[in-house]
Chains A and B, each alone.
Chain A
C-alpha cells in the first residue's frame, strides 16, 4: 500500500460517508429539505473537495526539458558572485558551497538529472573520476588563473645503480626562481634556475638497486619555499649485458673502456687487432648471426669497421634485430665517413674541438658541498674526498659539427650543452655515434664517474631492450582512481603495507585495470600467472602532493572536453518528470471548502426558505 493508495481509500470512504449523510438528512429534513439543484451541488462538491485535497497532498508530476548543471569542483570560490544560472551541484572536492546539492560524483548527478545536456564547470576542473561522465555533454569552463608551483616532472624510465640521472620538468614561478634536488639523506644535491619558459633540468646520482625517493623543492627569487615534492625512482637491478668491443688498434680508450665495462657489470669481449692477422684481447669469435645474437651492444671503431669486410652486413643485420651498435670516433675524416654511411650526419665544422667539462675550480663552497653528495662512500684505498677537491681538468676533444638528419637524435650533452653523441633507429635496434675521441683522459684524471656516466648513458640508450615491462603510464594520487595498463590487465596490487588488493578484470578494457589507491608509497601491480607473469612497481603520491600539477591535469582534461562537439540532443523518452507544486491545489481546496461551507450555511435552495416564518433547520 503506497501512501497515495491509502489517501485515495480514505478520501473515497469520506466522500461515500458524506453522500450517505446528505441523503439520510435529506430524507429526515421533511419540510426543510433541499431542492433538487441544491442537493446536486452539495453532492458534486464532496468529491471535488476530496480530489483537491488529494492533489494538494500528492501534486501531479510535470515534464521538464533540458537542464544546465553548474558543477562546483575543487577550489570553487564560495561567493555567489559571477556564478552562472543553472542547477548548482557540488562534487566532494568543493567545500563551503552554499545552496548546492552535494553529489559523490558527476555520474550520480547526471543520473539524477538525466536531461542535463550542458554543464558549466567552476573551479579547478573535473578529475579523472568525472571526466568520462562528462563526455557527450556541452561543457563550458573558464579555468582559474595559474598558481605558482610545479606543472610537470619527467622522470627517467630506468636508472642503473650508480648512474647519474636527469630530472626535467616545468614550473610556474617568478623570475629568479630555483629548483633543488634533495637526496634521501636530506642534502641538496643539485640546484638549477628555472628557465624563462619554466623549464628546468636537474641531475642526481643513484646508489644501489632499490626504491628511492628524492625530494624536489621550488624556491622563489628570495629563497622562499614555494612547493615541495617527492621524486620516486626505481633503481633497476643490475643487468648482465654482453658487450662486444671491436678495435682496429690497441689504445688507451679501449683499455679504459674495457676496465669500466668490466667494473660496471658488462660481460666484455674485446677483439683488438694489432695488424698482420695478430689480435689481442679475448678469445676471437667469428662474426656470424649466431655469435652476435649473444651480444646486446657492440662498440666498433672506424679502423675495425674498415677491416670487417663481410662482417659489416652481419653486424647491421644484428642491429636490425634489436641490438645496439656504437661507432667510436677515431680521428676526423674516417669517422665522419663511417657515420655518414650509417645515416648519422655530422654537418659543418671540421677537425676536432675541445669538450667543455664541468669546471670544478670555479665552484663555490656550496657547489663543492653539492659535489660531495654526488659521490658515494670511499674505501680505504680511494677515500671519497680524493677527487672532489681536485681542480685539474683533462683535455678531451670531440669531432666538431652539429648533428643533422630527420631520424637522428643527439644526446649526452657536455657542460656547455653540446651533444657528444647521436643515435638513430635501425630496424628494432639503434646505431649511435660517439664523437669524443679521448674520453679515457677523464678516467686518468680522477673523473672516472664522468667517464662512467658518459659511456653508461651512451650504451643504455642504444643497448638491446631489456625484458622488463614498460612502466604504467601516468601519475597516481592516493584517493583518486588510477588506471594501470599492461600487456594483460593487472590482477592484483600489492600495497606498501604488504596487503594485496585483487582488481576486477574487465575483458573489454584492453589490458587495463582500475585501482583506487589509499596509501601513498610504492605499489606493485601484478598480472598473468606462471610463465607469463609480470609485475611493475609504481608510486602513488600523497593526496596533497603536487597540487598544481594535479590542477593543471584536471584543467587540461576539462578544457579538452570543451572543444568536443555540441551536446547530443535530448531524446523524447528522456524527458524527466518532476513533482509539481502543491500550493495551487491547496488554494483550490480552500476555495471549494469555503464555497461549500458558505453554501451549506445559506438557506438558498431550501424548501423551507420559501416559507414566511424563515425557520431554518440546519442540514
Chain B
C-alpha cells in the first residue's frame, strides 16, 4: 500500500548518512531557515551571516565524506644484498638476439646469402632465418633438395657460431639463388694520372 500510494522519505541520500553528519546538515538547514527569515523581511545584510554558516556546515559534510590519503612513495621492503645471485641458476645464460638480414632488391635468398658471408651485409652473430624458411615453403617445388637446405638452416640456428655450418648453408643457398640478367659492370675510373695520359693520347690538353 505504502509503496503504491505513498512515498518513503528515507531512501534519499541524506537519510542514509550517519547521525553525526545528519546533525551537521540539520544545523545547516536551521541556519538556512534563519537566513530566509531575514531575506523575507527585506534585510539581506542580516541574512548573509546565516547563509555563510550554512555553507560552512555543508562544506564540513562534503569534506567529511572524502577520503584523504597522504602523499607517500612506494614503500617496498629493503633489498637484501646478501641474497643476490644465491638462487638456482641452472639453464640461465645470456642470449644474443638474432638479426634479420636486410633484404635488397634481389630477394631474401640473396640477403641471407650475404648475411652468412663476409663483407657488406654480413651478420656475424645469430641470424634470423624465419624469412628464409617462409621462402622455402613457398618455393619448395623449385628446389632440387629442399630437405638439405632446411637441415642446413637448422644446423645454423642451433649453433650460430659454427663456421662450418654457416659455410654449408651458404653453399646450399647458392643452389637456391636465381641468376639475374647480366647487367653492366663498368671498369674502375682511371686515376688523375691515367686520365691525363688518356687525354694526351687523344691529342687534347692535359
- Whether A380 pairs with B186 at a CB distance below 8 angstroms is no
Q: Which of B19-27, B61-69, B83-91, B190-198 contacts A (4 or more CB under 8 A)?
A: B190-198
- Whether A376 pairs with B179 at a CB distance below 8 angstroms is yes
- Whether A380 pairs with B110 at a CB distance below 8 angstroms is no
B182 shortest CB reach to chain A, Å: 4
A61 at the interface (CB under 8 A from B): no
- Whether B106 pairs with A209 at a CB distance below 8 angstroms is yes
Decide yes or no: A465 and B190 within 8 Å by CB, A264-B182, A456-B183, A456-B184 being known contacts.
yes
Of B124, B175, B199, B202, the residue contacting A377 (CB under 8 A) is B175
Chain B residues in 8 Å Cβ range of A158: 185-188
Q: Closest chain B residue to A463 by CB distance? A: B186
A265 at the interface (CB under 8 A from B): yes
Beta-carbon contacts under 8 Å, B149-186 to A: 170-172, 174-186
Chain B residues in 8 Å Cβ range of A199: none
State A448–B186 Cα separation when bound (angstroms). 21
B91 shortest CB reach to chain A, Å: 29
Chain A residues in 8 Å Cβ range of B57: none
Decide yes or no: A236 and B185 within 8 Å by CB, A208-B114, A380-B142 being known contacts.
yes
Of B118, B174, B187, B195, the residue contacting A460 (CB under 8 A) is B187
Of B114, B139, B182, B187, the residue contacting A465 (CB under 8 A) is B187
Decide yes or no: A264 and B181 within 8 Å by CB, A185-B175, A208-B113, A379-B142 being known contacts.
yes
- Whether B110 pairs with A209 at a CB distance below 8 angstroms is yes
- Whether A210 pairs with B110 at a CB distance below 8 angstroms is yes
Chain A residues in 8 Å Cβ range of B176: 377
Beta-carbon contacts under 8 Å, B88-124 to A: 104-107, 109-110, 113-114, 117-121, 124
State A467–B53 Cα separation when bound (angstroms). 91
B201 shortest CB reach to chain A, Å: 7
Interface residues on chain A, number (Cβ under 8 Å) = 73
- Whether A469 pairs with B188 at a CB distance below 8 angstroms is yes
Give a binary string over A194-228; 1 marks a CB under 8 Å from any B CB, 0 the rest.
00000000000111111110000000000000000
B143 at the interface (CB under 8 A from A): yes
Chain A residues in 8 Å Cβ range of B40: none
B204 at the interface (CB under 8 A from A): yes
Decide yes or no: A163 and B204 within 8 Å by CB, A209-B110, A376-B177, A427-B198 being known contacts.
no
Of B170, B191, B204, the residue contacting A184 (CB under 8 A) is B170
Decide yes or no: A210 and B180 within 8 Å by CB, A185-B171, A320-B202, A465-B189 being known contacts.
no
A360 shortest CB reach to chain B, Å: 17
A53 at the interface (CB under 8 A from B): no
State A185–B104 Cα separation when bound (angstroms). 22
Of A377, A379, A461, the residue contacting B177 (CB under 8 A) is A377
Q: Closest chain B residue to A238 by CB distance? A: B183
A375 at the interface (CB under 8 A from B): yes
Of A207, A296, A448, the residue contacting B110 (CB under 8 A) is A207
Q: Closest chain B residue to A461 by CB distance? A: B187
Decide yes or no: A468 and B189 within 8 Å by CB, A162-B181, A164-B182, A265-B183 being known contacts.
yes
Q: Closest chain A residue to B111 by CB distance? A: A208
- Whether B184 pairs with A210 at a CB distance below 8 angstroms is no
How many residue pairs link A and B with beta carbons under 8 A? The number is 183
State A361–B113 Cα separation when bound (angstroms). 34
Chain B residues in 8 Å Cβ range of A376: 177-180
- Whether B117 pairs with A428 at a CB distance below 8 angstroms is no
Decide yes or no: A183 and B174 within 8 Å by CB, A209-B110, A452-B181 being known contacts.
yes
A256 shortest CB reach to chain B, Å: 12
- Whether A456 pairs with B185 at a CB distance below 8 angstroms is yes
Chain B residues in 8 Å Cβ range of A460: 184-187
Instruction: Say what secondary structure dominates the interface of chain B.
Output: loop
Of B110, B172, B183, the residue contacting A185 (CB under 8 A) is B172
Give a binary string over A137-167; 1 marks a CB under 8 Å from any B CB, 0 the rest.
0000000000000000000011111111000
A471 at the interface (CB under 8 A from B): yes
A464 at the interface (CB under 8 A from B): yes
Decide yes or no: A466 and B182 within 8 Å by CB, A377-B143, A425-B201, A522-B119 being known contacts.
no
Interface residues on chain B, number (Cβ under 8 Å) = 45
A586 shortest CB reach to chain B, Å: 64
A378 at the interface (CB under 8 A from B): yes
Beta-carbon contacts under 8 Å, A442-472 to B: 448-449, 452-453, 455-457, 459-461, 463-471
A349 at the interface (CB under 8 A from B): no
B24 shortest CB reach to chain A, Å: 78
Chain B residues in 8 Å Cβ range of A241: 183-184, 186
A573 at the interface (CB under 8 A from B): no
A260 at the interface (CB under 8 A from B): yes
State A449–B181 Cα separation when bound (angstroms). 7
A537 at the interface (CB under 8 A from B): yes
A239 at the interface (CB under 8 A from B): yes
Chain B residues in 8 Å Cβ range of A157: 187-188
Q: Closest chain A residue to B106 by CB distance? A: A208
B95 shortest CB reach to chain A, Å: 19
- Whether A212 pairs with B117 at a CB distance below 8 angstroms is yes
State A383–B178 Cα separation when bound (angstroms). 11
A77 at the interface (CB under 8 A from B): no
Of A183, A427, A464, the residue contacting B186 (CB under 8 A) is A464
- Whether A265 pairs with B119 at a CB distance below 8 angstroms is no
- Whether B188 pairs with A260 at a CB distance below 8 angstroms is no
Q: Closest chain A residue to B121 by CB distance? A: A210
- Whether A377 pairs with B142 at a CB distance below 8 angstroms is yes
Give a binary string over A28-68; 1 marks a CB under 8 Å from any B CB, 0 the rest.
00000000000000000000000000000000000000000
- Whether B183 pairs with A161 at a CB distance below 8 angstroms is yes
- Whether B142 pairs with A378 at a CB distance below 8 angstroms is yes
A496 at the interface (CB under 8 A from B): yes
State A296–B109 Cα separation when bound (angstroms). 31
- Whether B179 pairs with A375 at a CB distance below 8 angstroms is yes
Chain B residues in 8 Å Cβ range of A162: 179-183
Beta-carbon contacts under 8 Å, A514-563 to B: 521-522, 524, 537
- Whether B120 pairs with A210 at a CB distance below 8 angstroms is yes
A521 shortest CB reach to chain B, Å: 5
A497 at the interface (CB under 8 A from B): yes
Chain A residues in 8 Å Cβ range of B201: 425
A186 at the interface (CB under 8 A from B): yes
A614 at the interface (CB under 8 A from B): no
State A241–B183 Cα separation when bound (angstroms). 9
- Residue positions of B touching A, CB distance < 8 A: 104-107, 109-110, 113-114, 117-121, 124, 139, 141-143, 170-172, 174-191, 195, 198-199, 201-202, 204
Ranked 4 nearest A-B pairs via Cβ: A376-B179, A208-B110, A160-B185, A456-B182
A-B contact pairs, 15 of them (CB 8 A): A157-B188, A160-B182, A162-B179, A163-B183, A185-B174, A207-B179, A210-B119, A377-B143, A378-B142, A456-B184, A460-B185, A461-B187, A464-B186, A465-B187, A521-B118
Further contacts, 20 of them, CB under 8 A, given A162-B180, A428-B190: A160-B184, A161-B106, A162-B181, A184-B171, A208-B110, A208-B177, A210-B110, A211-B117, A234-B119, A239-B186, A263-B180, A374-B179, A377-B177, A378-B178, A427-B202, A449-B182, A465-B188, A469-B188, A470-B191, A522-B119
